Amino acid sequence: MAVSRRGFLARTALGGAVLGVPLGTARAKVRRPAPALVDAPVRWLDGAPAVRHDGLTWGVPWPRGTKRANAAFALRDGDGRALPVQSWTTATWPDGSIKWTAHAIPPAAAPGANARLGPGKPGAPAEALRVTEQADSIEVSTGPVRWRIARGGENIILSAHRGETEILRNVGLAATAQDKPDSDGAETVTTRAYRGRVTHAMVEQRGPVRAVVRVEGMHAGEGREWLPFSMRLYFYAGSDAVRIVHSFIFDGDETRDFIRGLGLTGVVPLRDLPYDRHVRFAGTGDGVWGEAVQPLTGLRRDAGRPFRDAQVAGLKVPPVEQLAGPVRNGLKYIPQWGDFTLSQPNSDGFAITKRTKPGHGWIDVDSGARANGLGFVGGASGGVAFGLGDFWQRCPVRLDIRDAHTDAASFTLWHHSPSAPAMDLRFYHDGMGMNDHAAENDGLDITYEDYEKGWGTPHGIARTTEFTLWALGATPARDTFAAMAATVAKPPRLVTTPQHLHAAGVFGDWSLPDRSTPAKRAIEEQNDFLLRFYREQVEQRRWYGFWNYGDVMHSYDADRHVWRYDIGGFAWDNSELSPDLWLWYSFLRSGDAQVFRLAEAMTRHTGEVDVYHLGRFKGLGTRHSVQHWGDSSKQPRVSNAIYRRIYYYLTADERVGDLIRDLLDSDRALITVDIGRKVGARSSAEPGNGATVDSKPKQGEVSMSFGTSWCSLVGAWLTEWERTGDRKWRDRIQNGMASIGALPKGWFAAGANFDLATGRFTGPGDKVSISHLNSVFGAVEINSELFDLFDVPAYEKAWLDYCVAYNAPAAQFTAMTGAPGRGRNLRQGHSRLTAFAAKHLSDPALAKRAWQEFFSGDAGLDMGLAARAKKIAGPAVLKPVDEAPVSTNGTAQWGLAAIQNLALAGEAAEAVFVAGS
């Protein structure tokens, strides 16, 4: 029988001696010297070079003081040849030297296994990309294709030309919504159609290799404007493609606005005869389904091999005069198929259907498991391929081709399929009589859900989707089309190595994998198991869908053998206890492509769906809940910028950069949103704010916790200072640090009144208020960076005192603080506080204590969890499933200790590893 966490602790001698670490221990500021990294290795995320790409962007960090501002960078292959590259700075160190750079290459550049990036003159593309701004449009020429983007109106991309030939026109956004849900069986449902309307367009970046155009607008129709959107269009020199990153915000009334379809549409002029027009859909893997609008294969009378082979290959067939007489005379009786649909209603199956034209029946064509999300319509003289990222993962989705038998076909990439039931975003219960805070707290006590009428609203949540359009000169060969589909399903990426990331000194204290001792090996194996387990749970439990993909569940129900998807705060995780950071630090350490993609999906989800982007909750996120937006606890700890910044710097993704920047003034949301309003009535529930402030805030002040709120906000301010050099944000962070250090109880106060104008805590901060949540939402990670970037001794003392005392025996805690140690929990996870202090105070006794805490399993996970995972089957489950690791409560908070100690431990806990080896 597995030993419980409390039982394990009782059998150890961990709580015996009071360690002699005095309150206010000082430390000397020690920064490791910057390594002399002249250049950085560049590698493909998936190991082998991509078969193809249509232009790539990635980020690279540099140690402090090693790269001056405005430095030029060259990308060289293994033979030392300079490849075309465009570079820019995305972050600087406090001394003004470059901290992060971003780099873009065109499709013609194919870095090999030994490519390196370093100082030097960049290579130039064969033909530089050109941007021309006009009064009504923006024109971007990549070389092969000339794109025109509108500054206003219903069409976003006005046209795409190859030479003088128009390949594409009138690309825009479409949405449909109805006034009642499908599920209520209403007799009369009114459906309305809306079209995206551009209100603003601007060039964000122009260069020889890459240009970025940003478009903003609203969906409009029938006298209404709603569903605001933003869209970035990415162009690369020499590319046939435009990559589109599209985001929209739901600003409707969930009781009356039920979205039926969301799509990107476009028109493709057709010049070829029907038998020279082709349709393609990507299947699973390298599978391709393709036919002509008017097939010449399978006829009763053979058209002849040259005709059949050409048509199957997507080539122009020989002159029709060469057809056998019976076939030539019968052409008019061969149906011309105008409409085609590939529908993926769920993550496990797609179907292709077609019809000749409206008013006639649909014919079943073929089906498969998981489509890669790419289609094509066109012919020998040109056509358009259109792709939708995360296709089956974001089900229900659909690809449509219409009117391919006419002189102008259309396509639509439905990122929410109109074939599916309309979105029903209403709250899932009627309140069940919880009409006052007393009842609400009773409900919280039983289901762990913080309910309050009207607060579980989706008004203000968002979603980002990626599209790719190719303006092609001819129908692509099948192997080419399959390669294009692979880039849609799994976009190629360039990254640098974990060794370079670590040597650059970014993202605080962390270590590279080390299995040199049994203890270190056990930690690495535990982390590997947990990463694999959650990755496999996403697949096994089908955590897919438009709003769900990217999140995971919070806790497991060992009786039903399912995750607690329907039990209040035990359902969707919504970044509870920082799984985002676990994944990203695990990627930094390993460079594992599977971890990267799991973390990427989570970043896209948690930064969009779990956070409000407009309305009264703007800047705040929603605590873990049955519906991502359902819990009434709205928190900065969920909108936390630190969850996004690693992805932002690794990829230079502008949308995620927007999400971080949007949080700069989110502290002001605390004026009107009391995120801890029911704390006083709670007994066994977590506090909403991680702090108790006894003094009422004055005008211009808010009550703010240090860990769950202030540290979350610091992530946004720090990123903005790094990105822009604006000292306003540096000063705001420094003011907060200095004022915490000046409070009578320092970090032990857990929170205080905060002046919004200056960024200072005004007090009182004279009482001890401990919360187990205050350091588990990125506070340790952000403090690791603050220690490296700032010199505020009083703050450093306050934080290190907190680190020493949190897990200290009761007598020592009281001796250090003058208060009993109530509120302390998650002992194993908080061993990293002890490790942090051990490292920065060079204290071997603390290092030994941290090591014991980590392996205690107390309020965390016992090591050796992997060995206990087993297969189960029974009448309560649909099929044999992998049992979740349940030592005590479901996920045991994502194995907080094993996960988060690895997220930060590294060098901060190196003393622990030495002592414990």
By mean pLDDT, which of 554-563, 654-663, 710-719 is the weakest? 554-563
pLDDT confidence bin for 904, thresholds 50/70/90: very low
d(CA 891, CA 899): 12
Q: Is the pLDDT of residue 300 over 70?
A: yes
- State the pTM of this model: 0.93
**What are the b/e assignments for 491-520, b being 16+ CB within 10 Å?**
bbbbbbebebbbbbbbbbbbbbbeeeeebb
For the stretch 831-840, pLDDT in tens is 999 999 999 9
Q: Is the dihedral of CA 497, 500, 506, 511 positive or negative?
A: positive
Q: Is the pLDDT of residue 38 over 80?
A: yes
The answer to whether the CB of 273 falls within 8 A of the CB of 321 is no
The answer to whether the CB of 855 falls within 8 A of the CB of 863 is yes
Q: Is the pLDDT of residue 916 over 60?
A: no
Residue 701 three-state SS: strand
The predicted model gives 288-304 an average pLDDT of 96
pLDDT confidence bin for 46, thresholds 50/70/90: very high
pLDDT at 31: 65
The answer to whether the CB of 608 falls within 8 A of the CB of 461 is yes
pLDDT at 303: 94
Residue 230 three-state SS: strand
Residue 38, amino acid: V
The answer to whether the CB of 71 falls within 8 A of the CB of 619 is no
The predicted model gives 88-108 an average pLDDT of 97
Neighbours of 609 (CB within 10 A): 26
Residue 735 three-state SS: helix
Q: Is the pLDDT of residue 786 over 60?
A: yes
Strands (E), 403-501: 408-416, 462-472, 494-495
Following DSSP, what letter does each residue of 587-600 receive, concatenated? HHHH--HHHHHHHH
Q: Is the pLDDT of residue 208 over 90?
A: yes
For the stretch 668-712, pLDDT in tens is 999 999 887 564 443 333 344 445 556 788 999 999 999 999 999
d(CA 104, CA 911): 40
User: Half-sphere exposure (CA, 13 Å, Cβ side) for 265?
Assistant: 19
The predicted model gives 868-873 an average pLDDT of 51
By mean pLDDT, which of 33-47, 310-324, 347-361, 636-650 is the weakest? 33-47
pLDDT at 860: 77
**Closest Cα to residue 775, out of 826, 741, 842?**
826
C-alpha distance from residue 736 to each of 534, 638, 687, 727 (Å): 37, 20, 22, 14
Structure tokens at 834: 């002890």
The predicted model gives 416-435 an average pLDDT of 97
For the stretch 169-196, pLDDT in tens is 999 999 999 999 997 776 789 999 999 9
d(CA 504, CA 99): 8
For the stretch 482-512, pLDDT in tens is 999 999 999 999 999 999 999 999 999 999 9
Residue 542 three-state SS: coil
End-to-end CA distance of the chain: 28
Residue 483 three-state SS: helix
The predicted model gives 837-846 an average pLDDT of 94
Q: What is the CA angle 50-51-55, rounded to 5?
A: 65
Q: Which long-range CB contacts under 8 A does 198-206 form with residues at least 24 apart?
A: 198/150, 198/151, 198/152, 198/153, 198/154, 198/155, 198/156, 199/152, 200/151, 201/138, 201/149, 201/150, 201/151, 201/152, 203/131, 203/133, 203/138, 204/232, 204/654, 205/88, 206/129, 206/131
pLDDT confidence bin for 36, thresholds 50/70/90: confident
pLDDT at 887: 39
Q: Is the pLDDT of residue 906 over 80?
A: no
According to DSSP, the β-strands at 82-83 and 40-41 are unpaired
pLDDT at 900: 43
Neighbours of 381 (CB within 10 A): 18
The predicted model gives 771-800 an average pLDDT of 96
d(CA 891, CA 551): 14
Neighbours of 72 (CB within 10 A): 10
The answer to whether the CB of 573 falls within 8 A of the CB of 552 is yes
pLDDT confidence bin for 910, thresholds 50/70/90: very low
pLDDT at 206: 97
Structure tokens at 858: 């107390």
Q: CB-based burial of residue 541 (10 Å sphere; 0-12 exposed, 13-18 middle, 19+ buried)?
A: middle
Top pLDDT among 891 and 180 is at 180
The answer to whether the CB of 105 falls within 8 A of the CB of 111 is yes
Q: Is the pLDDT of residue 809 over 90?
A: yes
The answer to whether the CB of 773 falls within 8 A of the CB of 707 is yes
Look over the chain and give the mean of its residue pLDDT values, rounded to a whole number: 90
d(CA 699, CA 697): 7
**Closest Cα to residue 667, out of 713, 705, 611, 608?**
713
pLDDT at 183: 75
Residue with tokens 């003034």, as numbered in its chain: 665
Cβ neighbours of residue 197 under 8 Å, at least 6 residues apart?
152, 153, 154, 217, 218, 219, 220, 225
pLDDT confidence bin for 20, thresholds 50/70/90: very low
How many residues can be counted in the chain? Answer: 917
The predicted model gives 520-532 an average pLDDT of 88
The answer to whether the CB of 880 falls within 8 A of the CB of 872 is yes
For the stretch 722-770, pLDDT in tens is 999 999 999 999 999 999 999 999 999 999 999 999 999 999 999 999 9
The predicted model gives 642-664 an average pLDDT of 98
Structure tokens at 249: 């915000």
pLDDT at 857: 80
Residue with tokens 């290459």, as numbered in its chain: 105
Estimate to the nearest angstrom the gap between the alpha carbon of 464 and the chain centroid: 9
pLDDT at 883: 63
The answer to whether the CB of 458 falls within 8 A of the CB of 612 is no
Q: Is the pLDDT of residue 15 over 50?
A: no
Secondary structure, 3-state, 615-658: CCCCCCEECCECCCCCCCCEEHHHHCCHHHHHHHHHHCCHHHHH
d(CA 270, CA 251): 38
The predicted model gives 649-656 an average pLDDT of 98
User: Half-sphere exposure (CA, 13 Å, Cβ side) for 519?
Assistant: 14
**Closest Cα to residue 606, out of 663, 651, 567?**
663
pLDDT confidence bin for 246, thresholds 50/70/90: very high
Q: Which long-range CB contacts under 8 A does 593-599 form with residues at least 24 apart?
A: 593/45, 593/46, 593/47, 594/531, 594/535, 595/531, 595/535, 596/45, 596/493, 596/495, 597/490, 598/531, 598/534, 598/535, 598/538, 599/647
Cβ neighbours of residue 439 under 8 Å, at least 6 residues apart?
433
The answer to whether the CB of 674 falls within 8 A of the CB of 656 is no
Beta pairing partners, 47:
44
pLDDT at 342: 98
